[in-house]
Amino acid sequence: MDKNLRRRAVPEYASGNGNILIGLLTCAPFTVLVLMVIIQLLVFDINVTGHLKWAAKANNIKLAVQQMDIAVSYLEEHNLTSGYTLFRWPTHDIGFWYTNLLDALNDLEDLDPEAGSLEVSNVLMKLRETILEEGEGSRVTTPFLAFLHPYVGHYSVLAIILFTPAIFGAGRISMGIHCEGPSRETILFVLVAIIVVLLFVSS
């Protein structure tokens, strides 16, 4: 009796491991894509939005110029100066955003070194209004998914293609762990995780 039980347990265990392996392999491409997007976001934040935020907080023209120059130079070096990130909508307009930043930098550089404190304050206030969102504290104004430009379309297509296999893979992992079909909790967890990632990326 015990031998028969052991014989039946071996295939179930092997099947469980097989489902987990298949699930991991199926989820891997989507996971890699999400990691690539997060890395791109972090790189963009370090090289652009981080410096823009410091420029907006600068208390003198020299500091503002230094931070603005770093951000604008990065945009120019990576061809983030024209076009739209995804659709031809105002919130996706890279060209308008870049031109605004460049004009703000030129205003800072053209300011008379002998300018009075009131004029300096006005220029710095205008710079803050250009960089930061209205009523959003220290949130930097950027076009939608600017950190993925000009490859937003490519990433979107890949995400759509890899999304279904990722759900299938999560189900296979659940089957491997529980030796049954994916539970509602597993499916809900995967959907919530994907929504959180998308919200994080688009913020």
pTM more than 0.75 = no
Q: Residue 57 belongs to what domain range?
A: 29-202
| HSE of 82, CA atoms in CB hemisphere, 13 A | 0
Pair 147, 156: CB distance under 8 Å? no
DSSP one-letter string for 144-176: TTGGGTT-HHHHHHHHHHHHHHHHHHHHHHHHH
Looking up tokens 């009523």, which residue turns up?
Answer: 135
pLDDT digits (tens, 9 = 90+) for 130-168: 899 876 567 898 998 888 888 888 788 888 887 776 666
Q: Determine, yes or no, domain membership for 38.
A: yes
Q: Determine, yes or no, domain membership for 46.
A: yes
Q: Determine, yes or no, domain membership for 22.
A: no
Which residue, 154, 135, 156, is CA-closest to 202? 156
pLDDT digits (tens, 9 = 90+) for 18-69: 555 565 666 677 778 888 888 889 999 999 999 999 999 888 889 999 999 9
| HSE of 62, CA atoms in CB hemisphere, 13 A | 1
